[in-house]
A and B are shown apart, each in its own frame.
Chain A
Amino acid sequence: MSVGEYMANITRPLSFPSIPDLPESPDFAPLPTPGLPVFPHGLRRGGITEIAGPRCSGRMAAILHILAQATARAEVCAVVDTNDQFHPASAYAARVNLASLVWVRCGKNAEHALRAADLLLHSGGFGVVVLDFCDVKPRVLDRIPISYCIVFGERSKIRLPFFWFVVRLPRPKPRLIRWS
């Protein structure tokens, strides 16, 4: 039995409580990600996609899959790893081209993570930027000023060619943030 089958059997379903509705506008730049059925329309370029779910729901698998595809398209990607949990061997196994991946280990400092992500954003040119908030304590998340969200939101409006993922803990009531 393959691990993929195993995962399909054992892990609980992924939930994506706050993926923004895909607007029917010419600005929308869909990017099909075959193999990832939860994104039927692909991911919006220049948009923020939030992936949330409980432990073992396949959050990391989904991220690595997206990274693998992006690096296969010769894009340079970045992972801002708040809790220092990224596993390079898993990424390699998922066919992520590690040579075009920037990994920022933030040592459990959420503020550093946000600032690093902002800097990467300013730099521009990334295919995918992943901001990983998994296992960050909710009270830390609550302390993040809303201004960051607005800053990121502004970026997504001007359609920079990157993806923006926020991976985070499930919340009792997911905040639905629409950036468009």
Chain B
Amino acid sequence: MTEGANRLPVILPAARHTSTTQFVELHARSAFSFLEGSSLPEELAVRCAELGITAMALSDAHGVYGAPRFHMAARKLGVRALLGAEAATTDGSRYTLLAKNRQGYHNLCRLITRTKLRDRHRGKPENPVATQNDFAEFAKGLICLTGGTEGPLARVFSEHRGSAARQGVQKQVELLIRIFGKENVFVELQRHHRRKQEVRNQALVELARSMRLPLLATNGVTHAIAAKRKLQDVLTCVKYKTTISEAGRLLSYNAECHLKSSAEMNRLFADLPEAIAHTGELASRLSFTLEDLGYEFPHYPVPAGETEISFLRKRTDEGARRRYQPYSDKARRQIERELALIGKLKLAGLFPNRLGHCRILQA
């Protein structure tokens, strides 16, 4: 048999591998994914710190509720808390979305809000579903991962085989590219030591290479440590309203969906080092954390060639000349000091707004 192409998927052993690329976990669910995660955000943050993972993205299902707690805990431990969420689609799969910047966070929140409000009157707010139009509307600033077993590609693989599956997956990826843009779509690979998953992974690697898309390794984390798998199984039973002895294949296949260290992930993806390398690169592109959440005042439309502060400076100058006659140095210094403070606090947009209001009142 020929080398390489016909080889069964092989996970290489640890001893062969020496160099370790920094791995960032970008797909993790906390207990804030209702019944779909068994670790609190704090536990995830602590485990990250223990494993030496410098950054992690929390992507809970249908919400960002866990983000503040995760952010607070991670900040104390020196872990960068990135932000994302899983959004369900109409076909039953889930897109894993990560906020690239402030706008991305904005859009993510608005997307989730829209889906939840839409379903409110149907009485099923726990299963919000976003349409392709919703995704298209709020795609800016978001990174889309193709997901694990609940992702859109895994769904295609479960429904089709052979060439039909390949075509279906390609179509699905093309759709994602159309919505999010090519540079924002990553083909996600997870390795939980399952045969079926590995068959799927091989197909995805082939697809990513043919479509020139970046591969991204994640571990689809649902619990911080392996021992929490038992709790996860119990939560699954609660979710499906069944007993643990009757839950059967609803339960987890093994206890691999926990946070793994860089070394472990490097070993798992020894044949695909780029998938690990891309996690670090992508994490550096995700500039948004809750640190940047401070309130920003509405902007004021200024004439071309002007910034808000220069516009404010001119209006102030005009007003001061009317107010101070003579326009003393003392007043000039005071105004200068206050403008500098306004500039520093990014409040330049606020005052022209107020000026507009005053003019309206005067009129």
Contacts and interface: CB of A to CB of B under 8 A. Distances in A.
B1 to A, nearest CB: 5
A10 B1 contact: yes
Interface in B1-16: 1, 5-6, 8
Contacts of B162: 2
Interface string B163-204: 000000000000000000000000000000000000100100
A9 interface: yes
A70 B45 CA distance: 56
Interface residues of B, number: 7
Contacts of A9: 1, 6
Nearest to A1: B6
A142 interface: no
A48 to B, nearest CB: 34
Size bracket, chain A contacts? under 10
A24 interface: no
Contacts of B5: 1
A116 B165 CA distance: 43
A9 B5 CA distance: 11
A84 to B, nearest CB: 24
A132 B162 CA distance: 31
Nearest to A2: B162
A2 B41 CA distance: 39
A5 interface: yes
Contacts of B6: 1, 5-6, 9-10
Interface string B75-94: 00000000000000000000
A9 B202 CA distance: 17
A26 B1 CA distance: 44
A67 to B, nearest CB: 20
A3 B162 CA distance: 11
Contacts of B199: 2-3
B202 A1 contact: yes
Contacts of A6: 6, 8
Contacts of A1: 5-6, 8, 202
Nearest to B6: A9
Interface in A1-29: 1-3, 5-6, 9-10
Contacts of A2: 162, 199
A5 B199 CA distance: 13
The 6 closest A-B pairs by CB, nearest first: A9-B1, A9-B6, A1-B6, A10-B1, A6-B6, A1-B202
Interface of A: 1-3, 5-6, 9-10
Interface of B: 1, 5-6, 8, 162, 199, 202
